Amino acid sequence: MATFASYDGAQLSYTTVGDGPPLVCVPGGPGRAVAYLEDLAGLSAVRTLVLLDLRATGQSEVPGDPETLRFDRMALDLEALREHLGLAALDVLAHSAGSIVAQAWASAHPDRVGALVLVTPSDRLQGGSRADLPQIRALFAGEPWYADAQEAQDAFDDGALPSQRASLERATRPFFYGRWDARTQAHAASADRQSSKRAQLGFSAGSEQVDVTGLLAGLRQVTAPVLVVGGSRDALTGVDSVQAVAGCFPKAMTVVLDGAGHFPWVDQPEGFRSAVAGFLGTL
């Protein structure tokens, strides 16, 4: 484990694993420690993974100013990490909500993007409706856990009380994966010890102040190659989001892994590794 001082002095932690050129890895959640990314299905064989704990998560410091937990402010931490590593440009892989942080950084520094891999990204910046989620959840209708998970999802969607949300989220976790077996259940359970409520709440707080139109305009200045990875069974951010996010970049390609959910390196490790390593190998 290593640390660096970000722009405001906050001490942030990262771990490196593997061999090859560095690939900075940004976790999602929001507010989840980076450990759940594991070694991204063996990408550490071709890249040195720089696994960053975002502020207030994992081993990184809880900042004194809670406003620095907003996604666009955390993009400043990515730039501080680039400077700390002494790199002219960064290759970045970001997952889920972490893709919002990565997009904010890329928009502000398009000339410092070496390559960008966005895995099952949120299309919140693009105004996505996630209208495809009910259809994707219906793919699981034959599973023994489906009725309970759908009941919990309905209660969540209907505006559950704050005290109920954690238990309902746990009940919907089978929807996050392409399959629900011992491997995926263990991965899902790790969220209970890896999640920071402070970071989760701060991620979007005050986001109405963010110039989203300007942020999206900045993405059109990113000339570096971009890969957007989705899962055909991702019932958390959906499949429509893949095209919505990719469409914001001049040089984006997409891949949707059949049978994968929101964590494709867990569901389809070989397909995920092949897609991402193949893309990075062309750089």
Residue 165, pLDDT score: 77
Looking at residue 96, its pLDDT comes to 98
State residue 163's pLDDT score: 67
What's the pLDDT at 135?
A: 97
| Chain Cα centroid distance, residue 184 | 17
Q: pLDDT value at position 160?
A: 66
Query: Can you give the pLDDT at residue 22?
Result: 98
Predicted pLDDT of residue 52: 98
Q: Give per-residue pLDDT as tens, 182-232.
A: 999 999 999 989 999 999 999 999 999 999 999 999 999 999 999 999 999
Instruction: Give the pLDDT score at 162.
Output: 72
Rounded CA separation 274/269 (Å): 8
Give the C-alpha separation, 124 to 188, whole Å. 23
CA distance 232 to 136: 8
* pLDDT of the residue at 116: 98
pLDDT at 176: 96
Residues 37 and 52: their CA atoms lie apart, in Å, by: 10
Residues of the chain with pLDDT under 70: 160-161, 163
Give residue 161's pLDDT.
67
Q: Per residue in 35-61, pLDDT tens?
A: 999 999 999 999 999 999 999 999 999
**Paired tokens of 114:** 């070496």
Domains of the chain, CATH where assigned: 2-134+195-281 (3.40.50.1820)
Nearest to 65 by CA among 78, 49, 51, 76: 76
Instruction: Using DSSP, state whether 153 is helix, strand or coil.
Output: helix
Q: How far apart are CA 203 and CA 257, in angstroms?
A: 28
